[in-house]
Amino acid sequence: MGYVERVLDQINTRDPEQPVFHQAVEEVLESIEPVLDRHPELEKAGILERLVEPERVIQFRVPWTDDKGDVQVNRGFRVQFNNALGPYKGGLRFHPSVRLGIVKFLGFEQIFKNALTTRPIGGGKGGSDFDPKGKSDAEVMRFCQSFMTELHRHIGPNIDVPAGDIGVGGREIGFMYGQYKRLTRSWEGVLTGKAYTWGGSLIRPEATGYGTMYFLRDMLKDRDVDLTGKACTISGSGNVAQFCAEKAMDLGANVVSMSDSSGSIHVPDGMSRQMLAWVMELKNERRGRISEVAGTFDGVTYREGQRPWDITCAVALPCATQNEMDGDEAQALLDNGCIAVCEGANMPCTPEAVAALHAGGAAFGPAKAANAGGVATSALEMTQNATFDSWTREEVDSKLEGIMSAVYKQSAFAAQEYGDAGNIQRGANIAGFLLVARAMLDQGVT
């Protein structure tokens, strides 16, 4: 039994109930086999065994009182996966689907994503099965305060710096930061995604979406393709999808779809800036459903219960959640002329979808590289907090663009170096892994 096969067998035996975590680990480990063949010292040092096992898993109960006065109890999680390169860094997700296996998958991916940014940050992730949808601001505040009452014991600006993710936006970050200050009596950069007026960074809300588009632009440039006039399908309508759409328009593309858990909209002539602004207000302020767009704007079709991957496009941008595009949907995209898929969400394409895209010759931007802009800008926020400074919008956007170009170049170079030129997924896995593995070797068995 080979090294990779042995480690995969180990995690399947230890945690049989965590298939999404297994999927993430398998994808990385199979990609890096050429590195392990070239560097046998990594097996001797037990790098993979240590890499797939979190350094620390924290699980706790979160009791809170709803507006009726009834006591509710949710589960809270923080997985501190690897700090070889710096303090643990990764978002908090509030969604009913959150389980330990989901948090482990996200934390494992975060190790390599953070490494690719070349910022000094390690990998971690957390969250709760609490659902902020349909809750009042007062209920969300009480939950966030209870959640932080336990979490604050395990985080700090040089230990672990959480951020937002699905279900955790500026409102939730604000409530959690207020409770952290109250408990610790400290003003410090322990959370990122804060409002600009009290320690946040300009461009942070836009960063994941903007970064995905910068990565896509560079990936297509290597194929002599320009985005101008290209039809782009986007899934999701949250933060990442919104700013992917905005930057796609800036780059001259036509955004022809968005979606949420209820269905998708199709806009054959492309969304207007006015329509996108309306969607942002719908989702960020009124927390409404994407179906309302069709009732407000002409030329929009609402497709109940349907994802957008059957819509003809040149570029697809899955920005909703994990495993939202399967092999048949990827093939449908290819059959309709799609030339590139770039992941804005975390692991939105199933292994079958990725295999179909590679076989069909489409350019594929994997999440751990393509959506690294969010955590990269969080690291820039940490820098500003540490120096009590704030940078202009132009400064942060320029730094973000430079980081994303470097992420793409690292990934493309590693793919070529290890005999698979053009396979950006393999290149990203190899480049990120090497940065972390070298640091782990330097630091001994920890």
State the Cα–Cα distance between residues 412 and 186, nearest whole angstrom. Answer: 43
Return phi, psi of residue 175, to 5°.
Answer: -65, -40
Amino acid occupying residue 117: T
Catalytic hit among 89, 104, 125, 247? 125
CA end-to-end distance (rounded Å), the chain: 26
Please count the CA atoms within 13 angstroms of the CA of 358 that sit on its side-chain side: 16
Q: How many CB atoms lie within 10 A of CB 305?
A: 8
113 CB-near residues (< 8 Å, 6+ apart): 123, 367, 368, 369, 371, 372, 375, 432
373 CB-near residues (< 8 Å, 6+ apart): 207, 208, 209, 210, 211, 212, 214, 215, 400, 403, 404
Which 3-state string (H, E, C) describes 280-332? Answer: HHHHHHHCCCCHHHHCCCCCCEEEECCCHHHCCCCEEEECCCCCCECHHHHHH
Active site residue 125: yes
State the Cα–Cα distance between residues 264 and 36, nearest whole angstrom. Answer: 43
To the nearest 10°, report the CA torsion of 226, 227, 229, 230.
110
Name the burial class of residue 288, with classes exposed (0-12), middle (13-18) and buried (19+) by CB atoms within 10 angstroms of its CB: middle
The catalytic residues are 125
